[in-house]
Every structure is written in structure tokens, then in C-alpha cells.
Amino acid sequence: MPNDGASQVIQGDSECRDGHYRPKKNTAGVGTELERANARRNTMVDVFGATSTTEEVLSGVNLHGKRILVTGVSAGIGVETARSLAAHGAQVVGAARNLAKAKTATAQVLKEGTFNLGSFELIELDLADLKSVRRCADALLAKGEPFDVVIANAGVMATPFLHTPDGFEMQFGTNHLGHFVLVNRIAPLIRKGGRLINLASAGHRFSNVDLEDPNFVRTPYEPFVAYGRSKTANILFAVAFDRRHRGNGIRAAAVHPGGIQTELDRHLDPAHIQKTIEQMNKQLASEGKAPFQLKTIPQGAATSVWAAVVAPADEVGGQYCENCHVGKVVPDDVTITAVSEGVRSYALDPKNAEALWKKSEEMVGESF
């Protein structure tokens, strides 16, 4: 594994059906595997984008010997993330609340992982319940097997006003606090050169975190404001985790998967979704641009695997990524539309990240 934390990428080698990579003769004038990997990275901006799939991003990537934890593997991009990594030889541990549902959803993950000399196993995790989170972390620590990557993929979106068993607003409690406790508890298992990838969203633009009223005690509840708070928290957690661990070569990044139709949308009215898309298309048409298209699930999972095992660590560490590249900060006084790229500065603010870390420790009753 190169020092930048990216996986071994062998440009021009042949990936065989048994999962092994057999080198071809060098016909591109690039002498070593590391040079070939670097040559590929240098052109990543041109190669990968919004329509790239997991298989395109992982083409030529050998993940044998790498162990990766992915949360939220019972549906959607979590399943595809796990599948693509296992299919390239990784040992994948998938975490899910409903193990029976996850077992059915990940049958192909297990099949492709086994066929390509990777592996796949499940562990129970309910991120809304800190007792479950701590049990999961304790089980992983007791096993003692290190991870090269942790992908905090699971989440909920735009739920009704609900509370977790611990009394937290459901979206903040599940999307942020559950992962905050899990990741920090298993941090000793992350190898030097490893990575944490937090699934965030362009939805962070709905709201900064509110550390004075995180549970909407005084603030009227709005589903997408709550979602925005939790997604901003996902980004800020990556920023703070990266600052704490980069001295050991462990980096953290947040990723926006893009617009995808998955079970994450289950609390949304289909008519509302359609109306939103129509509004976006009207705006795009006025700008002479093509209509908006939802990403496929393999396209939606591509940025996760790109940031986890392909992109140079120093490029993505402490950053917000989208469409297989690092997103640019858009000033608060500049309008961001639903179809434009960019991250708000408050989501990458180190002081904001530290304040969130302190508040999160206070809320969960643990110091990390």
C-alpha cells in the first residue's frame, strides 16, 4: 500500500476471473507499478466524474489484504459499495440494523467477494441506539482485526419528528452521533495509512449545525433542516477526525453521493420529488443545459470508493468530495442551486468542527 493510503493500482495489468492480477509487459513506457499508479492518479480529474461507476473507478485496483467496514448494507449504495470492494478482493464487514434484510440484500456481495478471493461478513448495528453502537464496537474490538478503511454510509433522511432511544433528534442521533461513537471507539483498529469516509450530502446546505438546540427543543422542527444539520455534522466530524489522526497517516473525508433514488427517500412524497425535479429542469433549460438525471446506484457509490481507496490521501483528507473530485467552497453570499456543486464554508470550518466534537462528547457522555 503506498504511503499516501491509496490502494495498489496497477495500470495495464490483467484482472483475471480468479481475482488475481497478472502483470502484462510494460508497453506504456512506465517502469514500475508505483509509477503506473501515479500516472493514473494524475489523470483522475479527467477520467472520473458524475457519471463514473464503481467498476470504472476501481478498474485495475487490487484490494486483496485490505479490510473495510461499511455501515448501512441492507439497501442502496451501501450494498453496492460493499459489493464493488469485495469484488476487487477486499475483506468487507457490513454493518446493518436488520440482519435478515441485510443478508438477503448482500447475497451478491458474498458471491462476488468469494469468487474474487475477497470476503464478506455481517455485524449488527443500530446507529439510532447507542447501546447497540457500543455492543458493535465492543465486538469489533474484541475480535481485534484492523481496518484499512471505515465507510460511515448508513443514514436516514427527512424523517418525521422522532427521537432515538437516547433522546436525540432522530436524524442527528442516527446520522452523526451513532457514527461518532462507533468510529471513535474503533479508531484504534484503523491501520496507519487508513481512512474514514463519512457519507454526507449536498443537503448540508439546508443548515449549519445548531449546537445550542440540537434536538429541536425550542426550534420548530423542519425535516430538511434537521437533515441538513446532520449532514453538516458528518462533514465536520470528518474534518475534526482528520486533524486528530493525520499525524498517524490516517485521513478522513466526507462525500456527497449525488441524487439517487433509494430507500433513503422513503419519507418523501413522490409528488414532491417529481415537482422538485421539474423545477430543476426548468432552471437547467433556462441555462441551456440538459435535464437533470438521477444517478444509478453504481454511480452514486462511486465517490465513496474513489475517496476510500483510489484518490491520494493528501488530496481528500479533511475535504468534502462529490462526483469523484474534491468539492470547492462556495461563499455563503453566493446562491447554490439544487443542481450545482460546492460546499458551504461552515461545513469545513475547523472551529465549528471542534465545537461540534465537544458538544457530541457531552451528548453521548464519552470523551475521545
- Give the distance from CA 348 to its chain's centroid: 16
* Catalytic residue (choose from 221, 227, 320, 346): 227
Q: Which residue, 309, 319, 354, is CA-closest to 238?
A: 319
Q: How far apart are CA 248 and CA 231, in angstroms?
A: 26
227 is catalytic: yes
Pairwise CA distance, residues 178 & 122, whole Å:
18
Which residue in 299, 329, 339 sits closest to 52, CA to CA? 299
Would you call 121 helix, strand, or coil by DSSP? strand
The x, y and z cell numbers of residue 195, run together, are: 481512512
Residue from 365, 368, 367, 364 nearest 168 by CA: 364
With CA atoms as reference, report the closest residue to 171 among 148, 204, 136: 204
Q: How far apart are CA 216 and CA 213, in angstroms?
A: 6
48: Cβ contacts below 8 Å, ≥ 6 apart: 56, 57, 302, 306, 323, 324, 325
Contact between 324 and 48 under an 8 Å Cβ cutoff? The reply is yes
DSSP label at 28? S
95: part of which helix (H) or strand (E)?
Answer: strand 91-96
Q: How far is residue 42 from each of residues 32, 159, 223, 226, 278, measured CA to CA in Å?
A: 15, 41, 41, 38, 38
Which residues carry out catalysis?
227
